[in-house]
C-alpha cells in the first residue's frame, strides 16, 4: 500500500469508526438517532482521528528506538502520561465544538467529563497500547487502535450523552 493510499484510507477508516461508534452508542442506549453527534465523531475521525496518532507513533519511535534501554516501557509511559491526557482533552473539546456548542459549553463539558474519560482510558486502553507497541508494526498501529476505537467511541459517546442529559 502506498503512502498516499495510507493517508487516504486511515482518515476514512477513522471517520467510519467514529460514526459507527456514535450510532452504536445511541442504539444501545435506545435513543432516536441524532445526526449532530454522528457528524461530530465522523468529522473528528476524518480530520484528527488518524492523522494525529499517525504522527504521534512516528515521534514515539524516533524518541525511543528499539535499541535503547527499556523501549517498550518508555514508549508506554510517554503515550499514557503525556499523549493520552492531551488527546482526551482535545477530543472532548473538539467533539463538542463539532456538534455546534460554543466555547463556553465545550469547556464546561470538558471540565465535567475529563477525569472520568481519562481514568477509563488509562484503565481500559493501557493493555491495548501494550499490545500495540510490543507486537504491532509501526505502520499498522493506527489501524489496530482503530479496531479498538469502536468500543472507545461508544464509551465516550455514552459518557457525553449522560453528561448532556444532566445539564
So what's the pLDDT on residue 4? 58
Q: Identify which of 26, 6, 32, 31 has the alpha carbon closest to the alpha carbon of residue 146.
A: 6
So what's the pLDDT on residue 149? 86
Burial of 115 (0-12, 13-18, 19+ CB in 10 A): exposed
List CB contacts of 152: < 8 A, sequence separation 6 or more: 21, 121, 124, 125
Scan for cell 499523549, then name that residue. Answer: 83
So what's the pLDDT on residue 63? 95
So what's the pLDDT on residue 89? 97
Ranges of residues in the chain whose predicted pLDDT is under 50: 1
So what's the pLDDT on residue 33? 92
Taking the model in full, what pTM does it have?
A: 0.88
pLDDT digits (tens, 9 = 90+) for 11-45: 888 899 999 989 998 998 888 999 999 999 999 99
So what's the pLDDT on residue 7? 65
d(CA 52, CA 132): 16
Amino acid at each position: 500500500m502506498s503512502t498516499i493510499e495510507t493517508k487516504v484510507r486511515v482518515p476514512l477508516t477513522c471517520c467510519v469508526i467514529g460514526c459507527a461508534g456514535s450510532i452504536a452508542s445511541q442504539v444501545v442506549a435506545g435513543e432516536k438517532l441524532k445526526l449532530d453527534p454522528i457528524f461530530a465523531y465522523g468529522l473528528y475521525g476524518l480530520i484528527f482521528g488518524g492523522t494525529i496518532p499517525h504522527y504521534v507513533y512516528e515521534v514515539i519511535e524516533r524518541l525511543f528506538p528499539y535499541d535503547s534501554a527499556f523501549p517498550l516501557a518508555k514508549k508506554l509511559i510517554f503515550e499514557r502520561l503525556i499523549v493520552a491526557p492531551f488527546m482526551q482533552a482535545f477530543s472532548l473539546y473538539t467533539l463538542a465544538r463539532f456538534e455546534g456548542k460554543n466555547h463556553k459549553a465545550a469547556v464546561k463539558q470538558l471540565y465535567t467529563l475529563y477525569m472520568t474519560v481519562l481514568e477509563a482510558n488509562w484503565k481500559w486502553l493501557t493493555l491495548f497500547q501494550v499490545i500495540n507497541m510490543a507486537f504491532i508494526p509501526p505502520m499498522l498501529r493506527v489501524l489496530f487502535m482503530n479496531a479498538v476505537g469502536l468500543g472507545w467511541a461508544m464509551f465516550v459517546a455514552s459518557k457525553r450523552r449522560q453528561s448532556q442529559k444532566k445539564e
